[in-house]
Structure 1
Amino acid sequence: MTTLAWILIAGLAGGVLSVLFATIALKARVEWVPVMVSYAIGALLGAAFLEVLPHALELTGDFQRIGVTVLGGILLFFLLEKLVLWRHCHVEACEAHGAHAPAHDHGRSGLMITIGDTMHNFVDGVIIAAAFLVDMKLGVVTTVAIVAHEIPQEMGDFLILLHSGYSRGRALMLNLVSSLATLVGGVLGYYALAPVQQAMPYMLALAASGMIYVAVADLIPGLHKRVELSHTGAQIVLILAGVLTVWLVGGLAEEWFGAAAEQLGHEVHGH
């Protein structure tokens, strides 16, 4: 398959599948949200430090510029979150629909979260495209990390929409429409980034900074609300499970794509 085909598949997986999985999990037990958050932290940090940043450094070798880009990216995502363009909510007691929120806000918080989620999904699509343009294995690992953190995010968004007065059907439809922004971001990212390969190391550094920011600034603080030793132990295990998943997926993807490339080479030489 072509690189664009992989990006299209990953965009659909990062968007539609995460919404469907989140809806299924939400119907099962709301208590699954903290579990998915812990796992998502591990997946995001694992992808950022084990795959994305090493690839960025391999491409440029300039540690200082990559470090400055990561730092600038973290500040950028901080500003975006302040402007409510990069909005997350992974637990029911978030400020958008927690104890101090009105019982019914006539859809205002739901509209805000939908706009923010659409922007966030679009950026995810661009990140996926950048990863696949550099390396197929990196693209697969990045997609896994994005799907992992999208599931608890979509669960939180779904709760906000219900709180805002939307029906379950309409809330699901809004989440699905918003998730298509991942696909749009992937396609636009492919056509915008393919001609400027020299910018790819810094795009990867920005992608890593986004993963790190979401994990450290958005997800981890929520885990500190449960300080019991048993919960802390479970959180650590789940974070490590997320890291391990990224490591295993990276190894399997490298083996699969390596075998595919070798087979293609044999076919070319055979002709």
Structure 2
Amino acid sequence: MSILLMIILVSVAGGVLSVLAAAFVALKARAAWVPVLISYAIGALLGAVFLEVLPHALQLSSSLEAMSATVLVGILLFFILEKLVLWRHHHGKVGEVHEGQSNQGHDHGRSGLMIMIGDTFHNFVDGILIAAAFLVDVRLGFVTAIAIIAHEIPQEVGDFLILMHSGYTKQQALLFNLLSSMATLAGALGAYFALGLVQHWVPTILGLAAASMIYVAVADLIPSLHRRTELQATWQQIGLIGLGVSSIWLAGELADRI
């Protein structure tokens, strides 16, 4: 199977799988399942970074110091971007509250539209990361895709809830999320043809991918687990994080046999 065909199949299947899994959780499953998905996603993200992405990035980089700086700059960049998003959300929240008070709890689709625009861009970047990983190594491509799918599911659950709060029906929320997930394929195809001409960009993109995964896991996902401090919940979280790391290791081992 060619690298291009694998990138296409993984991008399409990954996007559709994450949306359908999120739809099942958001529309059918209990809310208590969301922390389970988050714990597993943390393990998958950190496993992908430290078992696969960073080792490959360091191997391809001409300088260990340059790669370390790339990861550092990436983490700071994602911090700044998230601050901008939070600032925009904070300044738009007052209008949404007043709108909700007079319009039965939804905002005529404005917040739903905003979340779809942001999610589409995010999916496009995910496609770039998947293609860049496959161009380095098939094993790295598969584990990167698994990590991306794992952290996409909790995010897609939130997207579904925002869309429905914004006034969209369940069917519309599913359709819009599926369309948004196709941006992953667009990003992957664009990256495949562009990166094939400029291979020297691959280490930098992998370094930024590692920074993205580290930031999402540490800054966004892990703090949500600290809301439950009971010993039983803590052991459950540790076990699920370990399961996420183990699944990345297993995916890497299986990819070696393909």
Q: Once the 2 structures are TM-superposed, how far is the Cα of residue 170 of structure 1 from its aligned partner?
A: 0.5
Match of 2:82 in 1: 81
Match of 1:34 in 2: 35
Length-normalised TM-score, structure 2: 0.90
Native 8 Å contact 1:84 1:116 kept in 2: no
* 3-state SS in 2 of match to 1:84: helix
* 3-state SS in 1 of match to 2:257: helix
Native 8 Å contact 1:105 1:164 kept in 2: yes
1:100-119 map, 5 Å: 102=100, 103-119=105-121
1:198-209 map, 5 Å: 198-209=200-211
Match of 1:21 in 2: 21
Match of 1:51 in 2: 52
Match of 1:158 in 2: 160
Q: Once the 2 structures are TM-superposed, how far is the Cα of residue 224 of structure 1 from its aligned partner?
A: 1.2
Query: Unpaired segments of 5 or more residues in structure 1?
Result: 88-94, 257-271
1:122-133 map, 5 Å: 122-133=124-135
**Where in structure 1 do 4 or more consecutive aligned residues deviate above 6 Å?**
none
Distance 1:64 1:199 in 2: 16
Q: How many residues align?
A: 245
AA at the equivalent of 1:6? M
1:106-255 map, 5 Å: 106-255=108-257
Distance 2:170 2:32 in 1: 19
* 3-state SS in 2 of match to 1:28: coil
AA at the equivalent of 1:23? A
* 3-state SS in 1 of match to 2:57: helix
Match of 1:70 in 2: 71
Q: Once the 2 structures are TM-superposed, how far is the Cα of residue 82 of structure 1 from its aligned partner?
A: 2.9
Q: Once the 2 structures are TM-superposed, how far is the Cα of residue 61 of structure 1 from its aligned partner?
A: 5.0
AA at the equivalent of 1:137? R
1:181-220 deviations in Å (ceiling 9; x for gaps)? 1111100111111111122111111111111111111111
Distance 1:56 1:112 in 2: 33
1:70-95 deviations in Å (ceiling 9; x for gaps)? 0111122222223339x9xxxxxxx9
Computed over aligned residues only, the root mean square deviation of the Cα atoms, in angstroms, reads 1.9
Length-normalised TM-score, structure 1: 0.86
Q: Once the 2 structures are TM-superposed, how far is the Cα of residue 30 of structure 1 from its aligned partner?
A: 2.2
Distance 2:135 2:72 in 1: 23
- Which has the higher mean CA deviation after the structures are superposed, 101-110 or 121-130? 101-110
AA at the equivalent of 1:200? V
Q: Once the 2 structures are TM-superposed, how far is the Cα of residue 148 of structure 1 from its aligned partner?
A: 0.8
Q: Once the 2 structures are TM-superposed, how far is the Cα of residue 11 of structure 1 from its aligned partner?
A: 0.8
* 3-state SS in 1 of match to 2:227: coil
Identity of aligned residues (%): 63
AA at the equivalent of 2:17? L
AA at the equivalent of 2:43? G
Distance 1:13 1:41 in 2: 21
Native 8 Å contact 1:11 1:125 kept in 2: yes
Q: Once the 2 structures are TM-superposed, how far is the Cα of residue 51 of structure 1 from its aligned partner?
A: 0.2
